[in-house]
Amino acid sequence: MIDPSKPDLEESVNVTEAHERVVRGAAAASRESKLKENGAEPISLWVLILCAVPLLAAGWTLGKAGTLFSYKDITREDYVRVIPSDGESAKLPPTDYLTASIKKGQKIFAKCAGCHGADGKGDGANYPPLAGSEFVNGPHERFAMVILNGLTGPTSSGKTFGVMPSQAAGLNGEDLSHVMNYVRHSFGNSAADVVTKQMGTAALEISGKRAKAGASVTADELNADHKKNLPGDPIDPKMMVDPITLEPAEAK
Amino acid sequence: MSAASSQTSDAIRRAEIDRSLRHPVMFFFTSGAAWLAVAILLGIISSAKTHSPDFLSGCAFLTYGRVQPAHMNALIYGWGCQAAFGSLVWLMARLSRQECRAAGLILTAGHVWNFSLALGIIGILSGNSTGIPWMEMPKFAWVPMLLAYAAIAIWSMVQFKVRPSGHVFISQWYILAALIWFPWVFATAHIFVHGFSGSPLMAAAINAWYRSALLFLFFLPAGIAAAYYLIPKVTGRPVYSYTLSLLGFWSLAIIAPWAGMQKLAGAPIPNFLPYLGAAATILVAIPCIAVAVNLLKTAAGAPETVVNSPSLRFTVAGLFGLLVTGFAATFLNVPSFLPLSQFSLSQYGFDVLALYGFFSFVAFGMIYFVVPRVTRREWLSSRLIKMHFFLSIYGVMTIALVAIFGGLMQGQAQEDFKQPWENAMTYANPYAVATTLSWCLLLFSNVWFFVHLALMWLRLGRRSSHPTLLGHAHHDDLHDATHGPEGDIDNGGPGSASAAHAHSH
């Protein structure tokens, strides 16, 4: 008979035997817990963790989808390309004022190229050359008057070509300045200064206040009244500007 | 009935099933292997053109815009579908324990499929492609293909219906799923894209869904069905975990139909469609993991068998391919990589990975298992099998790695719009060269595979009851020993040959 209150002191308890019983029981229990039916292995933790990776990734993707099930949102903003944060992509690199103005003037000159030729040489019979012309290269008010009013009679070379009609229709001061800059710096011409937007606007005013407003100018009138530069502040042709707006821009 | 006689009658039944399906199954496997060689040849040409545009530039029908779709169509419908049909038909008959009573119909349907496909590929090469990815074959091809499919599949469904009641094998779930999903996916896409004149944008979206659904809802279950059959069968071990197989099947069935539209991310379709598609494609990793882990654990119990059995080697390699496919699906579709993978090599790399790295490997395993049983001959040469195995492994690993990572490099370069466009092509160039070289490796190995298979169909295989085993090559004596003695044509298991013969006469 074992006294449960003091089992360890009982001589009658065979410790070895008790141990063996425990070990046998443990072995049986461990066999039991390992005993599994074929094909009934539980899903192990690492497989579940592995499956959690695509779950997280899918959640990330869905999170980027914006408003789910909304037919209003057609594409996610900025999907197609990554816009750099410096904002550089929005603007073209700055160039100097003269280059930018010439580039704009070249497009406007397309109208003039019909008679004077894309190379500015004219045809020698009806259309005078712009290359080397004194009216073109000299003081620029004369040149502006020719463009805005047209010209009859002899040109600066003294030779008489056909009548040049007025080109003022649809031409504003800014465009006038660009096309003048283009002609004065192309076809071998190289004027020293640039015509600014302010000067072009002034040319429109002067043209409107002429005594014989609306009629073509003649060489005599040009040399008498307009042999001077247009009024306005000169500009540094090397000043860096935005090629679209022609506003001053910092060089990178 | 004694245990021995029931075993014998079992073997007779298996042999009868195998014999009933000999011609259709061998037809699908052999013509599939021939199409595979054609597809790879076209793949070499199209890949070579990405880095050497002047290569074969004299022939109009070999320009990139024709060869690339011809390559994919031959790979998908020539090799992939026919290998899948062969193994699905055979597996369903074996697992339902029913002889096939419509072998002639299936064989005829197989010829119709092949003929329409050949006309379709010629149509693509002659410049009559529809220009819709994976559906490039001219419109006359797909209706006969769908009808042929119906004739091929219907008897397998009947066999399943009349099977002896009881346990439904895991393979049968997947076979049935593949058999049902294929016509759904194929018909839906073709009818909506070719049949109705809807919005071309929606046609593009349906096409994007179709490409992913064909991979995830047909090739994936077809390959998984074969793997779930082969691995327990050859190792003699039960599937590791039934719970995992349930998880794998139902997660695939629920997730995969949503995938695919991420190919149109950034296109003017509702924003949630591409992102839902991307998320679903990522989640396809879960069935991939569940299936691959389950079967690799099963195979891990018999490592010796895996090394020695050609079927198991290919199948186990394919399961690793399945894991990599799941990883790539996750990796390529997270938001940071989505814009990079969309218009680059990586989409192609992913398709090749799923189609070749997983499905084709399992299909090769299936062919190495089935052909000796239906022809009652053993494979001629274990060396050819080993060569096929290693060259395929190296080839497909290079293509998948190179196309996926090279594609990301290319995508990165495309995004950098301050650089000229040529930069992106320059980045992709070395990867394209590597792709061409790997297709060359694959062509070499698969031409020999086709020859080997054709010799088996001519019944020139070894007359041996011992399976072809892949011992270690440096043991010269073992190489012979692995074949076993010649002259015994019994493949159906112990005691079955004479019984089967007696029965058939």
pLDDT tens per residue across span B246-304: 999 999 999 999 999 999 888 888 888 899 999 999 999 999 999 999 999 999 988 88
d(CA A15, CA B405): 68
pLDDT band of residue B21 (cuts 50, 70, 90) is very high
Task: Determine whether the interchain pair A58/B283 forms a contact, defined as Cβ–Cβ distance below 8 Å.
Answer: yes
pLDDT over 80 (residue B3): no
d(CA A217, CA A146): 7
CA distances from B61 to B40, B45, B70, B128, B382 (A): 17, 12, 10, 10, 39
User: Counting one residue from A and one from B, how many pairs have CB atoms under 8 Å apart?
Assistant: 111
Query: What pLDDT is stored for residue A70 in this prediction?
Result: 75
Distance from CA of A158 to the nearest CA of B (A): 53
- ipTM associated with this complex: 0.83
Chain A residues whose beta carbon lies within 8 Å of the beta carbon of residue B289: 47, 50-51, 54
The percentage of chain A sitting over the pLDDT mark of 70, rounded to a whole number, equals 78
pLDDT over 90 (residue B226): yes
Please state the separation of Cα B79 from the chain's center in Å. 7
Question: For residue B343, what is the nearest residue in chain A, using CA coordinates?
Answer: A80
Chain A residues whose beta carbon lies within 8 Å of the beta carbon of residue B333: 57, 61
Of B240, B270, B284, the CB nearest to A41: B240
Own/partner long-range contacts of B184-193 (Cβ < 8 Å, ≥24 apart) = B184/B217, B185/B210, B185/B213, B185/B214, B185/B217, B185/B218, B186/B142, B186/B145, B186/B146, B186/B149, B186/B210, B186/B214, B187/B146, B189/B135, B189/B213, B190/B135, B190/B142, B190/B146, B193/B132, B193/B135
pLDDT over 80 (residue A85): no
Task: Determine whether the interchain pair B289/A51 forms a contact, defined as Cβ–Cβ distance below 8 Å.
Answer: yes
User: A interface mutation test: which of B228, B271, B336 has the most A CBs within 10 A?
Assistant: B271
User: A interface mutation test: which of B239, B264, B272, B294 has the most A CBs within 10 A?
Assistant: B272
The burial class, CB within 10 Å (0-12 / 13-18 / 19+), for B370 is buried
Task: Kindly report which listed range (A147-151, B71-75, B225-229, B274-278) carries the lowest average pLDDT score.
Answer: A147-151
Q: Which residues of A touch B (CB under 8 A)?
A: 38-43, 47, 50-51, 53-55, 57-62, 64-71, 73-76, 79-82, 89
Of B270, B283, B334, the CB nearest to A73: B270
More confident residue, A67 or B348: B348
d(CA B6, CA B15): 14
Query: What pLDDT is stored for residue B465 in this prediction?
Result: 61
The pLDDT tens digits for B343-377 are: 888 889 999 999 999 999 999 999 999 999 898 88
pLDDT over 60 (residue B494): no
Task: Determine whether the interchain pair A58/B282 forms a contact, defined as Cβ–Cβ distance below 8 Å.
Answer: yes
Strand partners, A154: A160
Task: Kindly report which listed range (A8-22, A65-79, A89-103, B7-21) carries the lowest average pLDDT score.
Answer: A8-22
Query: What pLDDT is stored for residue B24 in this prediction?
Result: 95
CA angle B145, B149, B150 (to 5 degrees): 120
CA distances from B443 to B35, B354, B358, B437 (A): 11, 18, 18, 10
DSSP string, chain A: ---TTSGGG-TT--HHHHHHHHHHHHHHHHHHHH---TTBPPPPHHHHHHHHHHHHHHHHHHHTT-STT-SS--S-TT-S-PPPTT-GGGSPPPEEHHHHHHHHHHHHHTTTHHHH-TTS---SSSS---TT-HHHHS-HHHHHHHHHH-B-SB-TTS-B--PBPP--TT--HHHHHHHHHHHHTSTT---SS---HHHHHHHHHHHHT-TTTTSPB-HHHHHHH--SPPSS----TT-EE-TTT--B----
Question: For residue B232, what is the nearest residue in chain A, using CA coordinates?
Answer: A39
Residue A146 backbone dihedrals phi, psi, to 5 degrees: -60, -45
Question: For residue A51, what is the nearest residue in chain B, using CA coordinates?
Answer: B286
CA distances from A46 to A53, A59, B154, B290, B447 (A): 11, 20, 41, 11, 41
pLDDT over 90 (residue A233): no
pLDDT band of residue B484 (cuts 50, 70, 90) is very low
d(CA B208, CA B219): 16
The percentage of chain B sitting over the pLDDT mark of 90, rounded to a whole number, equals 60
d(CA A110, CA A186): 14
Query: What pLDDT is stored for residue A242 in this prediction?
Result: 79
Question: For residue A53, what is the nearest residue in chain B, using CA coordinates?
Answer: B330
Of A50, A61, A79, the CB nearest to B289: A50
Distance from CA of B287 to the nearest CA of A (A): 9
Strand partners, A95: A241
User: B interface mutation test: which of A44, A56, A61, A82 has the most B CBs within 10 A?
Assistant: A61
Task: Kindly report which listed range (A56-60, A153-157, A195-199) carries the lowest average pLDDT score.
Answer: A153-157
Query: What pLDDT is stored for residue B268 in this prediction?
Result: 83
pLDDT over 50 (residue B475): no
pLDDT band of residue B395 (cuts 50, 70, 90) is very high
Query: What pLDDT is stored for residue B270 in this prediction?
Result: 84
pLDDT band of residue B481 (cuts 50, 70, 90) is very low
d(CA B101, CA B21): 9
Question: For residue A81, what is the nearest residue in chain B, using CA coordinates?
Answer: B415
Task: Kindly report which listed range (A24-38, B165-179, B235-249) carries the lowest average pLDDT score.
Answer: A24-38
pLDDT band of residue B53 (cuts 50, 70, 90) is confident
The burial class, CB within 10 Å (0-12 / 13-18 / 19+), for B380 is middle
Chain B residues whose beta carbon lies within 8 Å of the beta carbon of residue A80: 266, 339
Task: Determine whether the interchain pair A54/B330 forms a contact, defined as Cβ–Cβ distance below 8 Å.
Answer: yes
CA distances from B491 to A181, B312, B463 (A): 95, 18, 9
Task: Determine whether the interchain pair A70/B333 forms a contact, defined as Cβ–Cβ distance below 8 Å.
Answer: no
- What pTM was estimated for this model as a whole? 0.72
Mean pLDDT of B72-97: 95
Chain A residues whose beta carbon lies within 8 Å of the beta carbon of residue B335: 60-61, 64
Amino acid at position A247, single letter: E
Mean pLDDT of A60-84: 72
Query: What pLDDT is stored for residue A91 in this prediction?
Result: 62
User: Which one, of B115, B94, B119, lies nearest residue B16 by Cα?
Assistant: B94
Mean pLDDT of A61-89: 68
pLDDT over 80 (residue B214): yes
Distance from CA of A90 to the nearest CA of B (A): 12
pLDDT band of residue B88 (cuts 50, 70, 90) is very high
Residue A119 backbone dihedrals phi, psi, to 5 degrees: -95, 0
Task: Determine whether the interchain pair A59/B279 forms a contact, defined as Cβ–Cβ distance below 8 Å.
Answer: yes
Select, from the ranges B157-171, B263-277, B291-305, B396-410, the one with the highest average predicted confidence (pLDDT).
Answer: B291-305
Query: What pLDDT is stored for residue A3 in this prediction?
Result: 53
